Amino acid sequence: MTTVMVVEDDPAFLTRFCRIVASDPELELFAAVGDLASARQAISKATPDVLLTDLGLPDGSGIDLIRETARRHPNTDIMVITVFGDEDHVLASIEAGATGYILKDSLPHEFVDLIKQLRTGGSPISPVIARQLLKRLKPRGIAPAICPTEETPLSAREAEVLGLIAKGFSFGEIARLLGVSQHTVISHVKKIYQKLAVHSRGEAVYEAGKMGLI
């Protein structure tokens, strides 16, 4: 059972998200709140598997909640669901620890599948957001494969795993492609996070882009 916490100040959207979670027998509603203070109180008592949060909350920013949750509960997967599609909000969310980023006006019918994808190593992102990130990270000319150098702290295998993460493969898919166990892939990912000083797949890809690795 995957526990899901929803943070949304719009009653209509909050109800909709709660119904989506309740519609699947593999999901369980951990908490449903409409402000930052209530969200902080909820995560201080227990740890949800998934956090779905808006950014514009009445008493603060959802980005602060993302940052705090990523720090206190590193195993919680975080997905932003918002109307904000500008670069500043997207990058700030990823840097804070968000794994997925979905715009409210483009919520897919298969939203439950996105939550499950999040738990299996995926990073669901609205197409318009993905395009925006790719344009920002796209190098000039032909993009070289990730290759460790003296300035790069990653091993050859870690660089290979990061390259596959950047292409959108889940941990399970990476394990099958490399012929190793998913546990081994997760071990590599943890080392990548430590070496790049990040807390999520999205942040790792973002930092790799800044370093010129992708």
Average pLDDT on 68-95 reads 90
Q: Under a CB-based contact definition with an 8 Å cutoff, are residues 204 and 165 in contact?
A: yes
Fold of 139-210: Arc Repressor Mutant, subunit A (1.10.10)
Residue 1 reports pLDDT greater than 50: yes
User: What CATH number was assigned to the domain covering residues 2-135?
Assistant: 3.40.50.2300
- Confidence tier at 144 by pLDDT (50, 70, 90): very low
List pLDDT tens digits, range 34-69: 999 999 999 998 999 999 999 999 999 999 999 999
What residues does each domain of the chain span? 2-135, 139-210
**pLDDT one-digit tens code per residue, 12-26:** 999 999 998 999 999
Closest CA to 80 of 97, 61, 104, 102: 102
Q: Helix, strand, or coil here: 210?
A: helix
Check: CB of residue 182 under 8 Å from CB of residue 169. Answer: no
Express each pLDDT in 162-193 by its tens digit: 888 877 777 777 888 888 888 888 888 888 88
